[in-house]
C-alpha cells in the first residue's frame, strides 16, 4: 500500500513547537466519526482535540482536504475517591462518536469511572437589534424605548461551542476499558474489568448490568474483561474479550443478564508453544467487528486474528505482528512492555487490517493477497507528500542497508492507538504525543 503523507503531523502540545513531552500530552485514544470528516483524539491530560477535514479547494478540486484542529476542550479533570482513598486519573480511555441526527455532532468520552456526552455545535451568526437590551446585553431603561424593531442575525466569525449534555457516573466499581454505541442509536454499553453495563443515552442515574463475571470470592478470579463492542447491525448482539484469549458473543434477547454466552470463540493452545508467558501474550487487547458484521478482528500481544461469526473453533486468519519478539519475552516482561495493549482496525471494505507495534512501526495485512507491510510513523515521513517506505526488522544473519536490528528497536516508542477512515484509505496513527495522518497516494487497495 503506497501511503503518502496527507497532513502535517500534530505534536499534541499547546503553543510552542516540539518541546519536552509531558505525560499529559500522550495520546490515549483516536476515533473517526461516521463520515470521516471529523477525527477526535483524547490524551492522558483529560483533553479532547477534534480535527476537521478541510473542504476541497476550488483551485485544486481533486485534491483531498487536510485535517486541521477544529476544537479543543477539557473533558475530564483528576478526581479523588475519598471512600477508597484512590486518585481517579483524568486520562481519556475511549471516545465514541454518536451517529449525527442534526447539524450538531455528539461524542462520548470516558476516563476510568465517568462517561460524558458532549455536544459540538457551530455558530456563525449573532442576533442584534434587541428592543430591551443594549449592545452589551444590559437591560435598557424602559422609558427610553419609544419604538419597536425586529432583531436581525448578523454574520460573525465561526465559533465552535462544546457543551456537556449528560454525565454518566457511579456505574463502575472497576476501571472502564471500553464503550460502544448500539446500532439502535439509543443505548450504549460500558465495560470494566468484571462487568458490562447498558445505558440509555437520555438516562444518567441508572444503568442495567448485562454481564457480571465477578466471582463470590475474589481469590477464585481467573480472567477479566479486556474489551467489548456492539454488533454494527444487530442491536441485540455484542462481544466481549477476556484476558484468557477467548471471545464471548452474547444475545440480549436470550436473557436480561448475559452471563451465559451464545457463542464462545477460543483457539486451542498448541502444547509445544506453552511457556511461562503463554497466558499473558494470549490476552486479547482489542476486538472489532468488521463493517459487514460477519467477522471479528482481535489483537493479542504477538498476533492479529480474524474470526468468522459462524465458526467458533479457531480463527480463519492469523497474522504475525512481530514474531521476532518471541525470544525477547523475558526482557519485555521485566520492563512491563508485555502488558501493552495494542488496538487494531479494519479498512472501509474489510479487506485490509492495521495494528501498531514498537519503534513507531505499524503493520498492515491484505486479506486477499496475503501481503503485509511494516511502515514507520516518524518526523522524516511527515514531510508533505513523502511516500512511506516499507521497513524490515532483521533478526540475524545478513542485513540489508535499511534493515533495523531487533536489538535496536525502541520499546518506548509504541503505536497503541490507530484509526481508519470509514470509507477512504486515510489512517490516523498516535505515536506517544504525536498524531500522524497518512493517505494512500493512489486510491486503491494494497498492491
Domain extent listing, the chain? 3-10+23-141+148-440
- Confidence at residue 401, expressed as pLDDT on a 0 to 100 scale: 74
From the list 77, 247, 89, the residue with the least C-alpha distance to 175 is 89
- Confidence at residue 397, expressed as pLDDT on a 0 to 100 scale: 66
* Helix (H/G/I), strand (E/B), else coil: 373: strand
Q: Does domain 3-10+23-141+148-440 have CATH number 2.130.10.10?
A: yes
Mean predicted lDDT score pLDDT of the chain: 88
Mean pLDDT computed over 198-219: 94
Q: Which of 124-128, 195-199, 403-407 has the lowest mean pLDDT?
A: 124-128
Looking at the chain, the whole-number percentage of residues with pLDDT higher than 90 is 66
Compare 223 and 382 and report the one with higher pLDDT.
223
Compare 225 and 273 and report the one with higher pLDDT.
225
In the predicted structure, residue 342 carries a pLDDT above the cut 80: yes
Residues 310-341 pLDDT 10s: 999 999 999 999 999 999 999 999 999 999 99
- Confidence at residue 400, expressed as pLDDT on a 0 to 100 scale: 74
- Confidence at residue 14, expressed as pLDDT on a 0 to 100 scale: 46
- Confidence at residue 122, expressed as pLDDT on a 0 to 100 scale: 86
- Confidence at residue 123, expressed as pLDDT on a 0 to 100 scale: 83
Residues 431-445 pLDDT 10s: 989 999 998 865 434
Mean pLDDT computed over 263-285: 88
Residues 358-409 pLDDT 10s: 999 999 999 999 999 999 998 776 676 678 888 888 877 667 777 888 888 9
From the list 344, 350, 365, 210, the residue with the least C-alpha distance to 287 is 344
Buried b (16+ CB within 10 A) or exposed e, 244-271: ebbbbbbbbeeeeebeebebebbbeeee
State the CB neighbour count (10 A cutoff) for residue 317: 16
Residues 28-87 pLDDT 10s: 999 999 999 999 999 999 999 999 998 765 555 555 668 999 999 999 999 988 887 889
CA–CA dist 189, 231 (Å, integer): 12
* Helix (H/G/I), strand (E/B), else coil: 317: strand
Rg over alpha carbons for the chain, rounded to the nearest Å, is 24
pTM of the model: 0.87
Amino acid at each position: 500500500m503506497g501511503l503518502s503523507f496527507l497532513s502535517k503531523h500534530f505534536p499534541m502540545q499547546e503553543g510552542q513547537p516540539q518541546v519536552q513531552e509531558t505525560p499529559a500530552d500522550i495520546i490515549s485514544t483516536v476515533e473517526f466519526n461516521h463520515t470521516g470528516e471529523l477525527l477526535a483524539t483524547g490524551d492522558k491530560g483529560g483533553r479532547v482535540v477534534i480535527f476537521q477535514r478541510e473542504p476541497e479547494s476550488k483551485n485544486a478540486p481533486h485534491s483531498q482536504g487536510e485535517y486541521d484542529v477544529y476544537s479543543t476542550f477539557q473533558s475530564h479533570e483528576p478526581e479523588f475517591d475519598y471512600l477508597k482513598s484512590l486518585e481517579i486519573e483524568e486520562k481519556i480511555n475511549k471516545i465514541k462518536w454518536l451517529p449525527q441526527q442534526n447539524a450538531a455532532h455528539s461524542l462520548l468520552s470516558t476516563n476510568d469511572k465517568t462517561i460524558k456526552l458532549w455536544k459540538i455545535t457551530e455558530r456563525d451568526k449573532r442576533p442584534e437589534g434587541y428592543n430591551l437590551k443594549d449592545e452589551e446585553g444590559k437591560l435598557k431603561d424602559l422609558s427610553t424605548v419609544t419604538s419597536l424593531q425586529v432583531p436581525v442575525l448578523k454574520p460573525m466569525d465561526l465559533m465552535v461551542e462544546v457543551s456537556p449534555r449528560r454525565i454518566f457516573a457511579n456505574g463502575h466499581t472497576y476501571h472502564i476499558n471500553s464503550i460502544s454505541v448500539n446500532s439502535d442509536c439509543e443505548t450504549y454499553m460500558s465495560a470494566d474489568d468484571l462487568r458490562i453495563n447498558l445505558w440509555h443515552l437520555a438516562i444518567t442515574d441508572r444503568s442495567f448490568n448485562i454481564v457480571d463475571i465477578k466471582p463470590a470470592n475474589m481469590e477464585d478470579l481467573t480472567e477479566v474483561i479486556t474489551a467489548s463492542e456492539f454488533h454494527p447491525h444487530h442491536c441485540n448482539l455484542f462481544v466481549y474479550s477476556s484476558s484468557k484469549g477467548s471471545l464471548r458473543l452474547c444475545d440480549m434477547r436470550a436473557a436480561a443478564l448475559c452471563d451465559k454466552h451464545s457463542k464462545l470463540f477460543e483457539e486451542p493452545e498448541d502444547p509445544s508453544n506453552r511457556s511461562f508467558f503463554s497466558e499473558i501474550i494470549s490476552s486479547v487487547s482489542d476486538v472489532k467487528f468488521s463493517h459487514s458484521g460477519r467477522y471479528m478482528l482481535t489483537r493479542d500481544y504477538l498476533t492479529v486474528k480474524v474470526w468468522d461469526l459462524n465458526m467458533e473453533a479457531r480463527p480463519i486468519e492469523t497474522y504475525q505482528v512481530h514474531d521476532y519478539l518471541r525470544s525477547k519475552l523475558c526482557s519485555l516482561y521485566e520492563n512491563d512492555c508485555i502488558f501493552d495493549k495494542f488496538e487494531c482496525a479494519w479498512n472501509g471494505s474489510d479487506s485490509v487490517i492495521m495494528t501498531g507495534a514498537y519503534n513507531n512501526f505499524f503493520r498492515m495485512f491484505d486479506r486477499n493477497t496475503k501481503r503485509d507491510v511494516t511502515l514507520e510513523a516518524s518526523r522524516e515521513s511527515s514531510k508533505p507528500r513523502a511516500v512511506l517506505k516499507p521497513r524490515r526488522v532483521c533478526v540475524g544473519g545478513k542485513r540489508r542497508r535499511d534493515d533495523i536490528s531487533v536489538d535496536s528497536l525502541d520499546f518506548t516508542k509504541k503505536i497503541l492507538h490507530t484509526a481508519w477512515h470509514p470509507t477512504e484509505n486515510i489512517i490516523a496513527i498516535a505515536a506517544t504525543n504525536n498524531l500522524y495522518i497518512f493517505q494512500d497516494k493512489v486510491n486503491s487497495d494494497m498492491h
